[in-house]
């Protein structure tokens, strides 16, 4: 019989008897199942092969329609092989897997088990060149709340005694990718203290290789008591994500037999159940499905599924859709130019550039404690490629100043540094200061902190002399006149105090003539 030729398949006597009986009664056709399996295998392989930063959500929907439960062994095998071949695109595969985990956590659990087994086998046979790919993927899974952070601590404890350059490099990768998660969990406090204590000993022990000592010192310098971290966007609500409680020191079955065909006695009924469930799941999410890469629309032209074609053409006019798109793009670890290229693919109605900029700023600074200059680099590229974005940002600057006191302190400082970066790079015009008036009645403590932070940032990157030259430029003096309001003595003292604080005590000398006529 065909299915007995596979050495990986074992069935109980009862199941074997049922299969013989059903086969004789022709209740299902083995050849049709084999043909369907081959189609499923090819479809999953093609979908993962075509995965790119612009079609992650589209690929997720395709995989869900392909009965990923039946082909979970294939899915795990193709994801693992693709990621091992190109570790630099790990973020892309991790994002796809985090979406699949919402619907089918048992499929993702099998994938995590196989990655753990890959790492453990590499460690067992001392194949250090194979460490990076599984460790990198597991760290991204921890960031996506798919795996627990204790998995990272287990790997660190396993690697430290090796005292090799490769193991130290992998420890640095772990702290770099998910250091935030490790520090955010109070249960890791003692483990982290012990880890850095061991690293401190390694860095001072003369008998250890100097390269290993140097890497240990780098890790200590960068990541001990390291609270600063790169901005990370969770694309999936952590309260909705299923977190797997896998550990490194446990033995797990990789179920590699699932990579091969096995007859299903209830093939038709299982297909019907799966299709009904997945249609309901996709229907509830169809309003949030969107795409921004040109590749998506090329694929839609060739797609025969009418429902998928309708879903892919969902409008991006919704603020929620645009916000999720921007978060997804920024989270893909692309260069500033590549991110702008993807943002340019967003289909906007005329005049919606302002909305795009506002949502972008909201995405970047809503939960950010430390300003990330990369956000400014992205907008600088955007300004070069689209003049309408420049106009929108100038309008945002002028409209936000009167209400800047409503922002929380972190967002206020980040906004000031963001616009300072655009100003010293000349991405926007300095004439935006036309709307700024430094008076007692028109400014608050928050708005003065906002201006002071902005000018300090400009001085930091341009130099004090260049900033002064720009303020005193004849073509811009009318734009800066609002900063030198001398119509009352209180406004004069406020202006004098402001410029003294930022290091320009003599700047107002050229505006002394405005002091005539001030009431005593």
pLDDT at 452 (0 to 100): 93
pLDDT averaged over every residue in the chain: 80
pLDDT > 90: what percent of the chain?
Answer: 34
CA distances from 369 to 136, 411, 415 (A): 25, 8, 12
Does residue 54 or residue 12 have the better pLDDT?
54
Asked if residue 212 lies in contact with residue 168, where contact means CB atoms within 8 angstroms, the answer is yes
Task: Report d(CA 223, CA 143) in Å as an integer.
Answer: 17
What is the arithmetic mean of pLDDT over 85-92? 89
What is the arithmetic mean of pLDDT over 310-322? 49
Kindly indicate the confidence band of residue 367, based on its pLDDT and cuts at 50, 70 and 90: low
β partners of residue 244: 147
3-state SS class at 269: helix
Q: Which of 139, 68, 127 is nearest to 101 (CA)?
A: 68
pLDDT in tens, 332-354: 667 788 788 878 877 777 777 88
What is the arithmetic mean of pLDDT over 325-331? 75
Asked if residue 81 lies in contact with residue 66, where contact means CB atoms within 8 angstroms, the answer is no
Helix and strand numbers (H, E) in the chain are 24, 0
What is the arithmetic mean of pLDDT over 99-117? 93
CA distances from 254 to 109, 115, 223, 258, 267 (A): 10, 9, 34, 9, 24
Look up residue 381 and give its DSSP letter.
H
Residues in the chain: 520
- Any idea where the domains of the chain sit in the sequence? 33-257, 369-517
pLDDT in tens, 222-250: 888 765 444 444 456 666 788 999 999 88
What is the arithmetic mean of pLDDT over 454-465? 91
Sign of CA dihedral 241, 247, 248, 254: negative
pTM of the model: 0.54
Which stretch of 94-108, 143-157, 298-312, 443-457 has the lowest confidence by average pLDDT?
298-312
Task: Give the domain 33-257 fold.
Answer: 1.25.40
Helices (H), 366-404: 373-385, 387-400
CA distances from 354 to 288, 328, 345, 350 (A): 22, 20, 16, 10
pLDDT at 80 (0 to 100): 95
Please state the separation of Cα 492 from the chain's center in Å.
47
pLDDT in tens, 271-312: 888 888 887 777 655 433 333 333 333 333 334 343 333 333
Taking the CA atoms of residue 10, residue 13, residue 16 and residue 22 in that order, the dihedral angle to the nearest 10 degrees is: -160
pLDDT at 517 (0 to 100): 43
Q: 8, exposed or middle or buried, with CB in 10 Å at 0-12, 13-18, 19+? A: exposed
What is the arithmetic mean of pLDDT over 113-137? 93
């Amino acid at each position: 019989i065909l299915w007995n030729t596979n050495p990986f398949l074992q069935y109980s006597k009862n199941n074997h008897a049922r299969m013989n009986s059903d086969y004789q009664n022709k209740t299902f056709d083995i050849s049709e199942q084999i043909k369907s399996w081959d189609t499923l295998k090819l479809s999953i392989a093609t979908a993962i092969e075509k995965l790119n930063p612009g079609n992650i959500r589209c690929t997720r929907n395709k995989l869900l329609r392909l009965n990923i439960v039946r082909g979970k062994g294939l899915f795990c095998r193709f994801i693992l092989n693709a990621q091992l071949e190109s570790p630099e695109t790990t973020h892309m595969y991790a994002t796809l897997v985090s979406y699949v985990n919402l619907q089918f956590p048992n499929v993702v659990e099998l994938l995590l088990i196989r990655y753990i087994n890959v790492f453990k086998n590499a460690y067992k046979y001392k194949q250090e060149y194979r460490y990076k790919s599984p460790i990198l993927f597991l760290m991204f899974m921890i960031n996506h709340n798919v795996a627990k952070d204790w998995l990272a601590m287990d790997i660190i404890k396993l690697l430290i005694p090796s005292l090799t350059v490769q193991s130290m490099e992998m420890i640095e990768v772990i702290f770099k990718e998910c250091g935030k998660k490790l520090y955010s969990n109070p249960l890791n406090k003692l483990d982290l203290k012990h880890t850095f204590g061991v690293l401190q000993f390694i860095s001072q022990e003369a008998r250890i290789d100097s390269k290993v000592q140097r890497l240990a010192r780098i890790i200590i310098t960068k990541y001990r008591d390291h609270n600063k971290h790169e901005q990370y966007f969770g694309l999936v609500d952590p309260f909705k994500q299923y977190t797997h409680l896998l550990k490194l020191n446990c033995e797990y079955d990789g179920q590699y037999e699932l990579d091969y065909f096995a007859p299903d006695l209830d093939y038709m009924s299982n297909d019907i159940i799966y299709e009904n469930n997945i249609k309901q799941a996709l229907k509830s999410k169809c309003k949030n499905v969107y795409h921004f890469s040109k590749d998506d629309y090329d694929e839609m032209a060739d797609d025969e599924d009418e429902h998928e074609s309708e879903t892919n053409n969902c409008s991006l006019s919704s603020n929620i859709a645009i916000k999720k798109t921007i978060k997804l793009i920024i989270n893909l670890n692309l260069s500033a130019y590549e991110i702008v290229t993807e943002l340019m693919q967003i289909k906007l109605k005329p005049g919606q550039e302002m909305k795009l900029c506002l949502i972008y700023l909201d995405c970047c600074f809503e939960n950010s404690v430390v300003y990330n200059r990369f956000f400014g680099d992205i907008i600088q590229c955007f300004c070069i490629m689209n003049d309408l974005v420049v106009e929108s940002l100038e309008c945002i600057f002028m409209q936000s100043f009167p209400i800047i006191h409503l922002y929380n302190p972190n967002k206020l400082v980040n906004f000031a540094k963001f616009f300072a970066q655009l100003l010293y790079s000349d991405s926007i015009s300095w004439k935006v200061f036309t709307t700024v008036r430094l008076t007692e009645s028109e400014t608050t403590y928050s708005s003065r902190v906002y201006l002071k932070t902005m000018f300090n940032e400009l001085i930091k990157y341009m130099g004090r002399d260049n900033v002064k030259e720009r303020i005193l430029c004849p073509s811009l003096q009318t734009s800066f006149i609002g900063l030198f309001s001398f119509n009352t003595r209180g406004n004069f003292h406020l202006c004098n105090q402001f410029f003294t604080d930022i290091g320009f005590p003599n700047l107002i000398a050229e505006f002394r003539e405005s002091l005539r006529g001030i009431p005593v």
